[in-house]
Amino acid sequence: MSMEYIDRYLEETKRIVDTVPRDQIERGIELLKETRDKGGRLFILGVGGSAANASHAVNDFRKIGGIETYAPTDNVSELTARTNDEGWETTFSEWLKTSHINDKDAVMVFSVGGGSEHTSLNIVNALKLSKERGAKVISVVSRSGGYSKQVSDACVLIPVVSEERITPHAEGWQGVIWHLMVNAIAE
């Protein structure tokens, strides 16, 4: 049973490799280079496992990519204070307001579903603010891409190859995509 599962999972991964939108990856790389070259900052948003990916990506984009980069989930004290005092839905948008997000900046979203009127409202509200302020949006999402796909300047939509494994493929591919992007802008 375990070898059968391993083979199935890896076959699904091959299918993603064959269908991931390379033009959107290229567009994301261009936007990241533009952000770095004009002295903008990169804000990476994610919830759950995607928040852990955001934290790791912050290191890579700062150290390897040379972009000033932050994730609001890295400051658990502020995140929980905002959740307690203001509500979960505005945790990221209020954080971005304090950071004075502007048209030199970019926001990168790591999300399985991309946010909607019912889920990941903190991401949705942060994206609304980001677009109002002129920031570029890059997303790495799955399913239909949700609100993130609707407003992104570059959206890498990880194809659904298995209904049972949407989350592990989406979150695993976030790492593949950001590592590809950060190393492309470093070379």
What average pLDDT does range 31-59 have in this prediction? 98
Query: In the prediction, which pLDDT does 153 show?
Result: 98
Does residue 56 carry a pLDDT above 90? yes
**DSSP one-letter string for 31-91:** HHHHHHHTT-EEEEEE-THHHHHHHHHHHHHHHTT--EEE-GGG-HHHHHHHHHHH-GGGH
Number of domains in the chain: 1
Give, in order, the Cα–Cα distances in Å from 89 to each of 47, 124, 153.
12, 8, 23
pTM, two decimal places: 0.97
Whether the CB-CB separation of 42 and 110 falls below 8 Å is answered with: no
Q: Please, what is the average pLDDT of the chain?
A: 97
- 3 state SS of 158: coil
Domain of 56, CATH number, reads: 3.40.50.10490
Confidence band of 1 (pLDDT split at 50, 70, 90): confident
Residue 106 has phi, psi (to 5 degrees) of: -135, 150
What average pLDDT does range 80-92 have in this prediction? 97
pLDDT-above-70 percentage for the chain: 100
Whether the CB-CB separation of 61 and 110 falls below 8 Å is answered with: no
CA 174, 134, 99, 90: dihedral to nearest 10 degrees? -70
What percent of the residues of the chain are helix, what percent strand, and what percent coil, each to the nearest 5? 60, 15, 25
Domain that holds residue 45: 2-186
